[in-house]
Amino acid sequence: MSTLSAEELVRQRLADITGIDESAVSHGQSTKSVYVYEAPVRVWHWVNVVTITVLCLTGYFIGKPLPTMPGEASANYLMGYIRFVHFTAGYIMAIGLLGRAYWALVGNHHARELFWVPLFHKAYWTEVFKMLLWYLFIIPKPNQYVGHNPLARLAMFAGYLMLSIFMIVTGFALYSEGAQAGSWQDMMFGWVIPMFGQSQDVHTWHRLGMWAMIIFITLHVYAAIREDIMGRQSIVSTMISGHRTFKD
């Protein structure tokens, strides 16, 4: 039977009382924290989460309305309320994106990552390929990045920014029909409908854009949670606190 020294007995007794294992602490991971996302970026992100969720839900029912409501039509304005909420969320999304573009000009370096990608840098594509291998479970661990990793940056630019601009432009084009000729919506976005051919074509592409956004959000949430669990840096908590924490 092994015997413990007096120092080891004291350490074990202390661990029993406090619940702290000093040996485990001494061999634990060290963490470093870097301030990445400023408050306006984080607020915009979470407002955008709510806005896009509302837009997808209401947009689905606008394209596929509910069955006929019982009673007199004058007593049922459900679809009217759904359209109103959809239009309101669309305005919030558009104004929010303008505010986000402004903050890209006055904020820190990481606030600008959403709006440009170093497509012509060979080193960037090398890092994109490495991250792709990581997401495919081919390499054991990813590199560490203070801001978005290169693959996420490409996905945010192409999958979110470009798609959001498309949805805003086509959405206001459809809205301009109700606002009628001569409205600012018609003057700014009325050209979209004849470019696509007719109003129904714009409706179809706008709805396809909604499903593309849902697919992007699903992948985005999966990747964020996966990185928080398996990666070497914090992801979800970073968009709450603004600090990126490195785990080793």
pLDDT digits (tens, 9 = 90+) for 77-108: 888 899 999 999 999 999 999 999 999 999 99
Do 92 and 5 fall within a single domain?
Answer: no
Which tens digits make up the pLDDT trace of 47-76? Answer: 999 999 999 999 999 999 877 777 777 778
Check whether 25 has a pLDDT greater than 80: no
pLDDT for 29 equals: 53
Do 101 and 179 fall within a single domain?
Answer: yes
Do 38 and 156 fall within a single domain?
Answer: yes
Do 3 and 68 fall within a single domain?
Answer: no
pLDDT for 74 equals: 74
Own/partner contacts of 243-248, CB < 8 Å, gap of 24 or more, are: 243/33, 243/34, 243/35, 243/36, 244/33, 244/34, 244/35, 244/36, 244/146, 244/147, 245/31, 245/32, 245/33, 246/31, 246/32, 246/33, 246/34, 246/144, 247/29, 247/31, 248/29, 248/30
pLDDT for 141 equals: 87
Do 10 and 130 fall within a single domain?
Answer: no
Do 8 and 101 fall within a single domain?
Answer: no
Share of the chain above pLDDT 70, in %: 87
pLDDT for 19 equals: 47
Q: In terms of residue numbers, what domain contains 99?
A: 34-246
Report the number of distinct structural domains present in the chain: 2
Confidence of residue 33 (pLDDT cuts 50, 70, 90): confident
Do 56 and 173 fall within a single domain?
Answer: yes
Confidence of residue 34 (pLDDT cuts 50, 70, 90): confident
Do 10 and 101 fall within a single domain?
Answer: no
Do 151 and 200 fall within a single domain?
Answer: yes
pLDDT for 15 equals: 47
Q: What is the CATH number of the domain that holds 127?
A: 1.20.950.20
Do 237 and 135 fall within a single domain?
Answer: yes
Q: Tell me the average pLDDT across 18-40.
A: 65
| The pTM of the whole model exceeds 0.85 | no
Cβ neighbors of 115 (< 8 A, separation 6 or more) are 101, 104, 157, 161
Do 74 and 139 fall within a single domain?
Answer: yes
pLDDT for 11 equals: 56
pLDDT for 28 equals: 47
Q: Tell me the average pLDDT across 166-182.
A: 94
Do 97 and 139 fall within a single domain?
Answer: yes
Check whether 199 has a pLDDT greater than 90: yes
